[in-house]
Structure 1
Amino acid sequence: MRGMFQRLCPPLKRFYSSHPYPSSRQLSIADLYSRYKSNQPITMLTAYDYITATWAQEAQCDMILVGDSLAMCSLGYSSTTDIGLDEFKYHVKSVCRAQGSAFIVVDMPFGSFESSLEKGIETAISLMKLSSKVGAVKLEVGSSQSQGKLTDYSLRLAEELCTRGIPVMGHVGLTPQRVHALSGYKVQGNKSSADSLAIFETAQELQRIGCFSIVLECVPHKISQYITSHLKVPTIGIGAGNGTSGQVLVQSDMLGMLSGQVPKFVHKYGNFHKSSVEHIRDYIKDVTERRFPDNSIEGFKVKDEVWVDFIERVEEA
């Protein structure tokens, strides 16, 4: 019966520019912990839309981060703090349409949670409800201290979210949303032992309150490795050396999608910007010199009798 069906209904030739991909089971936090416990590095990459998410999914990244870095890397804003929640949600939904197994984490954008715990909880819930594929939110947390105690507001919000069953990935070290308070995009914890200790203690507190994973950004590799070895949850490094439980990079940086310099910690695996401009120039040249489209390759044929009948009808009119 199956063979007969295939003969009667052969695969359709594709004349359009996109097609769906088969679905697959999405990784869970338990799957990520299995990798972590077996000392298998966890891979994570940002994605901003359906196309970049599809690339990450087909490459079989363990995790996809819909980061607010898309403000600068995809939308042309000058800072990650410029993007609004509604605009950010649009991109989250686009990423979630890509089929694949990656566990999806989404940022809590600047301005969407700082005003109150209630507002932060509401934002987190709204992000989780965008798609069943959203597995967790990521929250940037500072290392603010007062009288020897950690006092950062985001710690309290992270705890509130965890107690409500919302998976939270903490983010310490360089927190881009606080770039002004940090006086720029700088390595954290390398100037004094007090600073590095504050990062360590913040990471410990995030683990205590229930965060399932912690991002360490722009932290000296010795500090990051020490923190990782003293935690029982996986750490994801970006500019934090190879002693973390996994790595994350901004996709536009590692693929060279934009011109200009990338951060020191980025390894560029391609130069999409250069090759894309070259390909577009080739296209422009082919069009202006009438080499594209080639009717014998890219054109569609018409039956001779249809063509003759068309000409007769036109001339009779």
Structure 2
Amino acid sequence: MWTLSEIVALRCTISLSPHSRPQSIRTANHYSSLASTCGSIRGHVNCRRYSSQALNPTSEIDHNETSQSTLASKRKSSVVTFKTLKKFYQKEIPITMLTAFDYATARMIGMATAPSESEKIDNGTALPSGIDVCLCGDSLANVCLGYQSTTELGLDEFVYHLKAIRRGLDSLKTELDYRIPLLIADLPFGTYEASVEQGIQTATRMVQAARVDGVKIEGGKELRPLIERLSSFGIPVIGHIGLTPQRASSLGGFKVQGHDCPTKAREIIADAIELERAGCLGIVIEAVPVELIDTLKKLLKVPLIGIGAGPQTDGQVLVTSDLVGTLASHSTHLKNLKPKFVPNFASSVKLNQHSQNPSFDLSLQIIRTYVHRVRTRQFPQIGLHTYGMKPEVLQKLNQDGWSLSLSP
């Protein structure tokens, strides 16, 4: 009979290549005995059976690259922190962010760290590979659960998915050279608006249940008391302004914000300044004209992460299913409709002929292409993926001023 310690040791050894295994366990009898023993102690040892490439520790993107990364390098995984993001911001290295709503997608995002060396830009600055921030946004209500609106998402449902994402990221903490991204979670609609205390309870529950690294909150200056309290407790906060999906009804739907009204443009600027003052370590800004970003960049000292906001921002975020094309609505399929800011990288991806899971590897290559294009500021492209401000609005703002008067 095999002992528990022997089973654990054998499970580790079997993951090695055949030539590196001890001769004593490279026999059919040993494997048969091991399988039988695993079945009898399934309650004690996790004999997990992987069913897809996303659940395996390595990808078959490129046979040669994989060999170089996993066999020659053997470096341990690294963890992205807010200090990392601050360093990128100071060095003007664009930040990369994508969403994950389950275990497998979280692993795929973590595995997007390219095995090749970091690229260099003109001034010699290294461009790290991989995704910096894994965002569990409340868009999982639409993308994953099929709700009509993000406002339908319950906190219990959200935390359930958060815990799965955390397990996915934790599973990558191996000897392989992966960069484990920060895990940021939205505060869902109805979980923070009633009072500061309600918002604190929601955020602390997420930290305790899923060890989130920070929270993202949609809104402007009205959130300042909550952000200040969360920051004082050591819970990092990311703001979200411009198009805020939780408030889409009051904004007239999913439309560009601040492009046709000087007052609205000034309100967005005022909200950004208030969020920074409250303690936000970064701000997501969605669906605004590129002209607005130029002004905000001069006023803020925290990273602006754009989605449909142009290449001038300090980073980019997209919904992963939009990026890789795994979810097509009926209207999208018929009319080829998708948000203007979502790129099509699939046509430029070339899979290796040795790929054992083409579907997964295609998604992984698309994510790596996204990282490369964001780091080198090839994405988004002005005009193709961005929105402009109406000329008369821009003229009025230039004449009368961009900012509202703000009290300290």
Flag whether TM exceeds 0.5 (same fold): yes
**Cα distance change on mapping 1:54 and 1:10 into 2, 3 Å:** farther
The number of residue pairs the alignment matches comes to 261
Instruction: Give the Cα separation in 2 of the matches to 1:185 and 1:62.
Output: 27
Deviations 1:152-208 (A, max 9, x none): 2x2321222112211000001111001111121111111222211111111111111
- What letter matches 1:265 in structure 2? F
TM-aligned CA deviation for residue 136 of structure 1: 0.3
**Alignment correspondent of 1:17:** 50
Within the alignment, does 1:45 sit opposite 2:78 as a pair? Answer: no
TM-aligned CA deviation for residue 45 of structure 1: 0.2
**Cα distance change on mapping 1:8 and 1:67 into 2, 3 Å:** same
**Alignment correspondent of 1:55:** 108
**Alignment correspondent of 1:306:** none
TM-aligned CA deviation for residue 269 of structure 1: 2.9
Q: Residue 225 of structure 1 aligns to a residue in which SS?
A: helix
Deviations 1:84-109 (A, max 9, x none): 00001111111111234101100000
Match of 2:342 among 257, 266, 272: 266
**Alignment correspondent of 2:296:** 227
Instruction: Give the Cα separation in 2 of the matches to 1:245 and 1:7.
Output: 54
**Alignment correspondent of 2:325:** 256
Q: Residue 54 of structure 1 aligns to a residue in which SS?
A: helix
**Pairs within 5 Å for 1:75-224:** 75-99=145-169, 100=172, 101-132=180-211, 134-142=212-220, 150=221, 152=222, 154-224=223-293
TM-aligned CA deviation for residue 80 of structure 1: 0.9
Q: Conserved in 1, the CA contact under 8 Å of 2:135 and 2:183?
A: yes
Q: Conserved in 2, the CA contact under 8 Å of 1:254 and 1:270?
A: no
**Alignment correspondent of 2:86:** 33
Decide which structure has the larger Cα Rg and report it: 1
**Cα distance change on mapping 1:189 and 1:4 into 2, 3 Å:** closer
**Cα distance change on mapping 1:15 and 1:110 into 2, 3 Å:** closer
TM-aligned CA deviation for residue 17 of structure 1: 2.3
The structure whose RCO (Cα within 8 Å, separation 6+) is larger is 2
Instruction: Give the Cα separation in 2 of the matches to 1:270 and 1:84.
Output: 34
Instruction: Give the Cα separation in 2 of the matches to 1:10 and 1:166.
Output: 50
Deviations 1:4-44 (A, max 9, x none): 97444569899932556497332110011111111111000
Query: Alignment identity in percent?
Result: 43
Instruction: Give the Cα separation in 2 of the matches to 1:28 and 1:118.
Output: 27
Q: Conserved in 1, the CA contact under 8 Å of 2:323 and 2:342?
A: yes
**Alignment correspondent of 1:313:** none
Gaps in structure 1 of 5+ consecutive residues: 143-149, 272-278, 280-317
Deviations 1:274-311 (A, max 9, x none): xxxxx9xxxxxxxxxxxxxxxxxxxxxxxxxxxxxxxx
Instruction: Give the Cα separation in 1 of the matches to 2:297 and 2:57.
Output: 37
| Higher normalized helix content (fraction of residues) | 2
TM-aligned CA deviation for residue 74 of structure 1: 1.2
**Alignment correspondent of 1:308:** none
Deviations 1:113-144 (A, max 9, x none): 11111111100110111233x110000014xx
Within the alignment, does 1:70 sit opposite 2:149 as a pair? Answer: no
Q: Conserved in 1, the CA contact under 8 Å of 2:103 and 2:167?
A: yes
Q: Residue 183 of structure 2 aligns to a residue in which SS?
A: strand
TM-aligned CA deviation for residue 72 of structure 1: 0.4
Q: Residue 216 of structure 1 aligns to a residue in which SS?
A: strand
**Cα distance change on mapping 1:20 and 1:267 into 2, 3 Å:** closer
Q: Residue 97 of structure 1 aligns to a residue in which SS?
A: helix
- What letter matches 1:139 in structure 2? I
Instruction: Give the Cα separation in 2 of the matches to 1:20 and 1:77.
Output: 31
Gaps in structure 2 of 5+ consecutive residues: 1-12, 14-18, 36-46, 59-75, 113-129, 173-179, 348-358, 360-408
Q: Conserved in 2, the CA contact under 8 Å of 1:216 and 1:237?
A: yes
Instruction: Give the Cα separation in 2 of the matches to 1:9 and 1:159.
Output: 59
**Cα distance change on mapping 1:196 and 1:75 into 2, 3 Å:** same
Instruction: Give the Cα separation in 2 of the matches to 1:15 and 1:217.
Output: 40
Q: Residue 98 of structure 1 aligns to a residue in which SS?
A: helix
Q: Residue 243 of structure 1 aligns to a residue in which SS?
A: coil
Q: TM-score, normalised by structure 1?
A: 0.76
**Cα distance change on mapping 1:194 and 1:87 into 2, 3 Å:** same
Q: Conserved in 2, the CA contact under 8 Å of 1:253 and 1:266?
A: yes
Q: Conserved in 1, the CA contact under 8 Å of 2:50 and 2:56?
A: no
Q: Residue 39 of structure 1 aligns to a residue in which SS?
A: coil
Q: Residue 195 of structure 1 aligns to a residue in which SS?
A: helix
Instruction: Give the Cα separation in 1 of the matches to 2:254 and 2:338.
Output: 12
